[in-house]
Amino acid sequence: MLFPKFWHRPTAKLSLLKYLFFPATLIWRFLIKLETIFVVPQKSPLPVICVGNITVGGNGKTPTAMKIRSLLTDLGYKPYILSRGYKSNFKGPHLVNPTLDTFSDVGDEPLMMSFYGPTLIARNRRAGIKLAHSLGADLIILDDGFQNYSIVKDFSILVVETSVAFGNGYLIPAGPLRETISSAFKRADLLVTLGEKNYQSKFETDFSYLQLPPTVQGELKPKDNNLNLNSKIVLGFTGIGHPEKFFITLKSLGANILSFKTFENHKPFKIFALKRLIHEAKINNALLITTEKDFVRIPKNLQSNFTALTVELELNNQSFVLKKLNDVLL
């Protein structure tokens, strides 16, 4: 998905667009209000931890959900991640099989998450929870479920990528917000802010006027210590929500970036485009590198030509997060 550039322009330059999109924004707000009024949330037989955000696009929900699953697994729980399976062919409920399923079947993010632990997809989240319960789960991590009002959440984690924050601050379609910042903060039990220190500091300054939920900071760090990119010639490519983040990561690892190409998010790669990348890398003796999320979208017969850079979320106050989760679950 490609996002309008004006979604991330300063609000001072958007006065005309704000009024142009005002009727559509009112309709969006009305639909949200209707859902909150008429959708009756049901209590799950399992504890539900929700991980979500309030903007359209890549904000680090998936690595946050994976981190929470890892922490809870270490505590002895059997958490299942439940995703709606964005743009998947399967409607579910379905337990993702990392060996047999393809990204077209289940979606790129659920397929990637399934390599690390039990992952379900279900358009109907209640049906997904029922399946997880029958398979032996004792806890649900609801991926991208912050605006899903059909399930009672025991604990809600709001994720913000501080390099883009809330964009221009307007609701869809004038901006990237799915709901107002204040309404989201009221429902969040924990705020996880992602990004480098300079972005974290700017976020704290820009939104100091708001009553923030309990907050921890996090940063995505490469976890493959055997992959040394220092001075290595690389050809990077990605199709994620904010591709500039992957470019910055490659630069920070000392890579000599021959070229960097971007593709649409959640879309299948065209075979001819992949073969062209392989050819370009070979004639330049370059390492062809992408993200884990992109890697699972590459056909298996071509994957040997590509390297996936794996990352994991590091939290500045992990003990605080564990205490918060334990307070809910015990």
Confidence (pLDDT) at 16: 67
Boundary (domain end) residue, out of 163, 191, 220: 220
184 lies in some domain: yes
Boundary (domain end) residue, out of 169, 193, 220: 220
Q: What is the mean pLDDT of residues 112-118?
A: 97
Res. 232: pLDDT tops 80: yes
Residues 73 and 180 placed together within one structural domain of the fold: yes
- The CATH number of residue 136's host domain is 3.40.50
Residues 210 and 265 placed together within one structural domain of the fold: no
Question: What does the angle CA 239 – CA 105 – CA 101 come to, to the nearest 5 degrees?
Answer: 100
Residues 206 and 115 placed together within one structural domain of the fold: yes
DSSP string, 146-172: TT--SB--SEEEEEEETTTTTTTSPBT
Residues 213 and 251 placed together within one structural domain of the fold: no
Confidence (pLDDT) at 9: 67
Q: Across the strands, what pairs with 80?
A: 140
40 lies in some domain: no
328 lies in some domain: no
Confidence (pLDDT) at 172: 85
Residues 241 and 277 placed together within one structural domain of the fold: yes
Residues 207 and 261 placed together within one structural domain of the fold: no
Confidence (pLDDT) at 41: 85
Res. 50: pLDDT tops 90: yes
Question: What does the angle CA 16 – CA 21 – CA 23 come to, to the nearest 5 degrees?
Answer: 125
Residue ranges making up the domain that contains 66: 48-220
Mean pLDDT of the chain: 90
Res. 38: pLDDT tops 90: no
Q: Who wins on pLDDT, 1 or 174?
A: 174
Q: Who wins on pLDDT, 330 or 85?
A: 85
Domain count, the chain: 2
Sequence-separated contacts (24+) of 1-6 with Cβ below 8 Å: 1/56, 1/57, 1/241, 1/264, 1/265, 1/266, 2/264, 2/265, 3/56, 3/57, 3/176, 3/241, 6/168
Alpha carbon distances (Å) from 291 to 60, 130, 308? 13, 32, 5
86: pLDDT confidence band, cut at 50, 70 and 90?
A: confident
Residues 101 and 201 placed together within one structural domain of the fold: yes
Q: Which of 108, 141, 137 is nearest to 125 (CA)?
A: 141
Res. 12: pLDDT tops 90: no
13 lies in some domain: no
Confidence (pLDDT) at 208: 86
Confidence (pLDDT) at 218: 95
Residues 267 and 141 placed together within one structural domain of the fold: no
- Reading phi first (left if > 0) and then psi (alpha if -120 to 50, else beta), residue 191 is in beta
